[in-house]
Amino acid sequence: MKKIIVLISGSGSNLQAIIDDCNAKRIDAEIACVISNNPNAFGLERAKLAGIKTIVINHKEFVSRELFDNELYILLKKHNPDLIVLAGFMRILTKKITENFYGKLINIHPSLLPKYPGLNTHEKAIKNNDKVHGVSIHYVSSELDGGPLIAQGEITTGKEDVDTLIERIHKLEHKIYPEIIKYICNGQIYLDSNKVIFEKIDLEGSYISKKYEI
């Protein structure tokens, strides 16, 4: 059984999806702890209700990003996880984290990368009248939202407001993120020399691409 640490900043809806799949034995792993930079993150309550250890590292208490990351680094090294999952963690990590845990650190981003890295992806998709929108799961590197791509899921879009689009994207995230975590914990997906390796998974192209009508 693999050991996971989940990093959050907000409501923790992706965290809940991961918790549910771990409890249902769909993911062969345990969540060792949940770490948040936000002491008021509702995801902390989700973790506590599930009996999972929580740790808060309030970024506002550190005078620099480097000092915050150093504290996070110490915690991650102490727990020695097999996988570190960013689930709505709204901090840009320094090389101390991205380089030392490269290949063990994954993130989900609400766009079809390389399109729309960074923030406000849903607003950009609506503004540009995109017919397709989605999410990307990738290994985290020192480049913002630019690490090796693992998987993407997409939905078709119409004339909808931002809140409706966000809700649909969240449903997509809750489907695809636990699935990819399952494959990683089973050893079916891993990173080798910056190349994502897939074993015994039916792929379309060089990465998993799934379309969901949500």
Which amino acid would we find at residue 72? L
211 in the same domain as 118 = yes
pLDDT tops 70 at residue 184:
yes
74 in the same domain as 122 = no
212 in the same domain as 114 = yes
Strand 132-139 to strand 83-86: parallel, antiparallel, or no bridges (unpaired)? unpaired
127 in the same domain as 77 = no
125 in the same domain as 73 = no
Q: How confident is the model at residue 202 (pLDDT cuts 50, 70, 90)?
A: low
The per-residue pLDDT for range 98-127, each reduced to its tens digit, is 999 999 999 999 999 999 999 899 999 999
Whether residue 173 lies inside any domain: the answer is yes
- The question of whether 79 is a catalytic residue gets the answer no
209 in the same domain as 123 = yes
Q: Taking all residues of the chain, what is their mean pLDDT, rounded to a whole number?
A: 92
Phi, psi of 32 (to 5 degrees): -70, -40
Whether residue 146 lies inside any domain: the answer is no
Q: How confident is the model at residue 162 (pLDDT cuts 50, 70, 90)?
A: very high
112 contact partners, CB below 8 Å, separation of at least 6: 132, 133, 134, 135, 136, 152, 154
26 DSSP assignment: S
Q: Which of 109, 122, 138, 174 is catalytic?
A: 109
Rounded Cα distance, 191 and 55, in Å:
28
pLDDT tops 60 at residue 204:
no
200 in the same domain as 114 = yes
Q: How confident is the model at residue 35 (pLDDT cuts 50, 70, 90)?
A: very high
DSSP string, 86-145: ESS---PPPHHHHHHTTTTEEEEESS-TTSS-SS-HHHHHHHTT-SEEEEEEEE--SSTT
Q: How confident is the model at residue 36 (pLDDT cuts 50, 70, 90)?
A: very high
192 in the same domain as 163 = yes
pLDDT tops 70 at residue 210:
no
Rounded Cα distance, 191 and 103, in Å:
6
CATH number of the structural domain spanning residue 127: 3.40.50.170
Mean pLDDT of the 153-179 span: 91
Contact at 8 Å (CB) between 110 and 162?
no
Residue 69 has a CB neighbour count (10 Å cut-off) of 23
Find the domain containing 166 and state its range: 110-136+151-214
Question: pTM for the complete prediction?
Answer: 0.93
91 in the same domain as 174 = no
Higher-confidence residue of 43 and 193: namely 43
pLDDT at 205: 41
pLDDT tops 70 at residue 212:
no
44 in the same domain as 21 = yes
Token digits for 37?
Answer: 């930079």
Number of domains in the chain: 2
13 in the same domain as 81 = yes
Whether residue 209 lies inside any domain: the answer is yes
